[in-house]
Structure 1
Amino acid sequence: MIYSKLKIPENEEVTLLLGAGASIDANLPGTYDLTENIYNTLTEELYFSDAATIFGFIISGLIQKKTKQGFSPFEKVNIEEVVSAIKIISEREDLESSPFIANWHPFIEYIDKNRNYPGRQISSIIKKSFKDFSGGIKDSLKEITGKLRNNKNIDTFIDHHIDRRLNDAIRSMDYSFDELARILNNSLKNWESSANLFQKLYAVIHASLVEKLWIKESDRGIYLLPILDKKRYLDIFTLNYDNLLESILNEDKKLEYSDGFDEIDGQKILTLNFDQTKRIKFFKLHGSINWVEENQKVIQLTEKPDSDYIPLLIIGLRDKLRADGPFLDLLFEFKNSLLRKNHLVIIGYRFQDLHINKYIEIFLSKPESRIYLICGPNLDISKIPFLNVNIEKIENTKMYIKQFTGDLLHSV
């Protein structure tokens, strides 16, 4: 197991923290690749053309901001940055600073002016236009038939054939336009149900995350098996939304673990009652694509639904300390685990979450604390101040997890 390779004593308990880099070797997109993947998805569907335009506008604004800060204009944008911007814009009228902002970006104001065009107006416009059109046809034909009526030989033919069939055709066309208006009206109502285009985009992003991060094949994460030591007590915390690790844990029945969910009335409900007799305890700090909230309960889905749904996630840089939901309790579990244990193994984390970083910094203040990094060769810990000042307590493998565990898989 990796803990022996890291020279962690066999009787020592371990806290394990997984970032996005832990899932990349399973061919799951990282937080930067997700931005491009979701944008491409939006541009492929005509229905999402407006959403794609807004998404592109947000990305261009963030790139401009980074360029002003001295970063390369070719720097990729993290999906969490995009979602933070979308969320702030969609809720801008509720911001404390909103009374002091006279104007937003012209594009945002353009969206404001055009987003709430009611479906019923389109319905009435279509119907009125048709009635005017059909009324004109009726008047013209009546004039013609009026002249024809002077000829008594064809009077019966006109009354029983032309006039009747014309009225039937008009009623049929009236029905068709009513149906068309109904369809357009319902489509616009569905679009407006999220209040505005920015909120609609926020929902679309969550649906895209489900499509891209739901794992069905547990063998995609086989390289993670060496982290699941059956003899050692482990607290595993992940910042990832995917269900990669759950698929591995559920595949091997010998890997008994507790994730804070209990079976209640046929559903897996999050109770945060972690079974202390289980060697492995598993915490998802930022939610999961297979979590949904119903009636103030967090439910874990065992199968991916056929229809779209909004998973319970913390996504966005400004949303990490939500008062609602289980997230504060889960964060405190991370804090308490670090207080109890002296060994922290970090896999694929880039140290971009301020709250997680703060608890790691507190952990390093303990004289006996040790950190083991499996985060690849590009992580420069000298640029992370609280790590740099504790450099003697850190073992940096400069390897990715699949590379690090490759020679261990045969012993699993």
Structure 2
Amino acid sequence: MRVTALLGAGASVDIGGPLSVDLTRSVRSKLQEIYDLKTGHVTKVPFLNDIAAELDNYFSPTISHFEDIFYTLESLSSYARGWQSKTVKKFKPHMGSFVDAKKQYFFDEFLLYIAKKDLLTVVGDSIDEYDSLFDPVLKHSWYSSFWSDAVSQCQWDIATLNYDHCIESSINQYEDGYEDIGQICKRFNPRKLLDNNTDSKILHLHGSILYGHYSTSDNRYMFEDQHEDLYLYPSYKDAKDTWFNRSFSVAQSHDETYVGPIVTGLRKTDKLLPYPYNTYYHQFQKSLIENDRLLIIGYSFGDYHLNSLLERVVRYHGQNRKIVIISYFPDPKSWIPDPYVMNWPGNEMLNFIAKAFKDPTPFYNTLQFQEMFESEDKRTRIYLGGVNHTFNKYGREIIDFLTK
């Protein structure tokens, strides 16, 4: 027996991980530096914030987040390059023939490059800040103890959308598909991951701050690896040194698609072709088909490509399914048994809960807030007290439910 787990951004909040709004605020406050090679003068401009302000005005009353900003930077770069007369068709996005620049300022290729680099650096630095402070023995023992207890009962396939390595710090033995090659970095071997049926597996579906590119000065794998394949480094500093000064990838749509250690933006499905992402997604889908036990923590159901896989679980396993969702409801006093009136959860999350509960109106009969809801057939549960509280109060109960 194996259990599948999916960790979203909310799974890291109680161990110090930043919220999307926090990352967006940090990204917007980062100024872009322009160097004048002739004079040596440095000019600082709020280019990222200017991009976000344009998006906010367009999305009003909703505001943009950092993934919106990165997607926009990629799109602007695509048009800036595509509009040049000497650019070949491969790099010309189709819609470029129908639109014009509203403001030339936003199509400066150098500024766009600096902005993309700054955004990824801000995100990476923010993740490294709390990742390096993770204390599995004392401060965060509630987190590490849950995972060490869980994997002691059976093997798990743990897929995470977070860029940190707190899961690895909590589990003594696991398989991630990386192997030593006698250098500072490790190389991904898909067979090492897929052929291992005895260990728990950790799958970074959207990247890691410890992922980086291979040295371009060493071409020993030039006939085997793709340009975008990612290697595992021992530290964030070592990995980040390889992130930039590389050409960006282009999707079949001719749009720029940054494929790297951090999978962000709105073109995620175009970014999941190199190692280890393609194999991780294969393993994740395989685990959903084969494992009838599923734990979802802190995932807001904002990635449609993942939702399409998760929503098949009930079809795969029917009455054999056991599903646990750990989420957070911020104000129990405001509970209303109609999600559309309460504006919680979002449509995508509610759609999954309805399927998992096999009930189109899973909350309608509950007039008062409860920390735990259970489906009528007792095969699905949702806990709404947040990760820390739920692990401390219900951790053993959840592990027993999923592993027995």
Q: Is the 8 A contact 1:375 1:401 kept in 2?
A: yes
Partner of 1:19: 8
Q: Is the 8 A contact 2:56 2:64 kept in 1?
A: yes
State the distance in 1 between where 2:25 and 2:126 align: 12
Partner of 1:345: 295
- Give 2:162's match in structure 1, choosing from 234, 240, 253: 240
Q: Residue 257 of structure 1: SS of its match in structure 2?
A: coil
Partner of 2:329: 377
Query: Aligned pair 1:29/2:26, yes or no?
Result: no
State the distance in 1 between where 2:43 and 2:322 align: 48
Partner of 1:387: 353
State the distance in 1 between where 2:5 and 2:355 align: 22
Give aligned-pair identity as a percent.
22
Q: Is the 8 A contact 1:347 1:373 kept in 2?
A: yes
Partner of 2:201: 281
CA, structure 1 residues 397+200, in 2 after alignment: closer, same or farther (shift >3 Å)?
Answer: same
Q: Which structure carries more helix by proportion?
A: 1
Partner of 2:368: none
How far 1:408 sits from its partner (Å)?
Answer: 6.8
> TM-score when scaled to structure 1?
0.67
Please list every run of 5 or more consecutive structure 1 residues that lacks an aligned counterpart in the other structure: 1-11, 68-72, 116-194, 250-254
How far 1:49 sits from its partner (Å)?
Answer: 2.7
Q: Is the 8 A contact 2:296 2:325 kept in 1?
A: yes
State the distance in 2 between where 1:27 and 1:44 align: 29
How far 1:31 sits from its partner (Å)?
Answer: 2.2
State the distance in 2 between where 1:405 and 1:396 align: 13
CA, structure 1 residues 410+386, in 2 after alignment: closer, same or farther (shift >3 Å)?
Answer: closer
- The size of the alignment, in residue pairs, is 304
> TM-score when scaled to structure 2?
0.68
How far 1:218 sits from its partner (Å)?
Answer: 3.1
CA, structure 1 residues 388+62, in 2 after alignment: closer, same or farther (shift >3 Å)?
Answer: farther
Q: Residue 331 of structure 1: SS of its match in structure 2?
A: helix
Partner of 1:208: 122
Q: Is the 8 A contact 1:14 1:343 kept in 2?
A: yes
Query: Which one-letter code corresponds to 1:372 in the other structure?
Result: V
- Which has the higher mean CA deviation after the structures are superposed, 386-395 or 76-85? 386-395
RMSD value over aligned CA atoms? 2.9
How far 1:388 sits from its partner (Å)?
Answer: 2.2
Query: Which one-letter code corresponds to 1:227 in the other structure?
Result: W
Runs of 4+ in 1 over 6 A off after TM superposition: 43-46, 408-412
Partner of 1:155: none
How far 1:43 sits from its partner (Å)?
Answer: 7.8
Q: Is the 8 A contact 2:314 2:355 kept in 1?
A: no
* 1:170-319 matches, cutoff 5 A: 195-214=109-128, 215-219=131-135, 221-225=140-144, 226-228=146-148, 229=150, 230-249=152-171, 255-266=172-183, 267-272=185-190, 273-274=192-193, 276-294=196-214, 296=227, 297-305=229-237, 308-310=241-243, 312-319=261-268
Q: Could you report, residue by residue, the CA deviation over 1:173-207 in whole angstroms, capped at 9, with x for unpaired residues?
A: xxxxxxxxxxxxxxxxxxxxxx4211221111112
Please list every run of 5 or more consecutive structure 2 residues that lacks an aligned counterpart in the other structure: 36-41, 83-91, 217-226, 244-259, 331-343, 359-378, 400-404
**Who wins on radius of gyration, i.e. which is larger?**
1
